[in-house]
Amino acid sequence: MVERLDQTAVQGGRIAPKAPRLSPPYSCLSDRTCKKDKQKMKITKSDGEWKDKLTDEQYRVTRMKGTERAFTGLYHDCKDAGVYRCVCCGAPLFHSDAKFDSGTGWPSFQEAVEPDAVETTSDNSLFMHRTEVLCATCDAHLGHVFDDGPGPSQKRFCINSAALNLEREGDAASQQGSVRNVREEQP
């Protein structure tokens, strides 16, 4: 018994250094070559784990496909520069440069930060035919996309604030700095 426990501990020690799987969503911002890895790597958690991580409203919107009431979210009127990340997994989804005032009461974007940052699927609920937008990394429900947007794409990504976490440009610099420091401390 004792020997087995020791063996497990050694194996655990060997596996641990290979495990920093949290980094791809962050490194993808600067490294476009890791797109394929990102597609393969879906982040999955149990309902209980998501509930622990998210507020009730964030959970209802992202994991139960809910919709926040118009004009009540954090970001519908926000004009700050930065990257809007998935509130569940931290993957970059939309840039403030693509945000526009749609007057709908929800944050609206012309395009995702990268085409494969989000996935779409047909949504026929509520007697409507709509196209649902999901986080490509963790399948969080984000909102819907419509074909009545401004600009060449004519897309209007209508996204719930509760699904987003804005990393303002100043924040991004300090956060990247801290991530780098942590990495440098590791052997």
Residues that bind Zn ion (CB under 5 A): 86, 88-89, 91, 135, 137-138, 140
CB of 89 to Zn ion, least distance (A): 3
Residue 108 vs 165, nearer CB to Zn ion: 165
CB of 93 to Zn ion, least distance (A): 8
CB of 11 to Zn ion, least distance (A): 30
DSSP 103-123: SSSS-EESS-SSGGGEEEEEE
CB of 180 to Zn ion, least distance (A): 23
Helix segments in 1-143, DSSP class H? 2-15, 24-27, 35-40, 47-53, 56-62
CB of 107 to Zn ion, least distance (A): 16
Element (H, E) at 92: strand 92-95
Assess whether 158 carries a catalytic annotation. yes
Give the active site residue among 28, 88, 138, 158.
158
Assign 100 to helix, strand or coil.
Answer: strand
Q: Of 89, 82, 99, 116, which is closest to residue 159 (Cα–Cα)?
A: 99
CA geometry: angle 57, 154, 110, nearest 5 deg: 45
Q: How many Å from the N-terminal Cα to the C-terminal Cα in the chain?
A: 32
- Number of neighbours of residue 139 by Cβ within 10 angstroms: 18
User: CB of 139 within 8 A of CB of 148?
Assistant: no
Residue 137 vs 160, nearer CB to Zn ion: 137
Residue 110 vs 137, nearer CB to Zn ion: 137
Residue 98 vs 138, nearer CB to Zn ion: 138
Residue located via tokens 């700095």: 177
Q: Which residues are catalytic?
A: 158
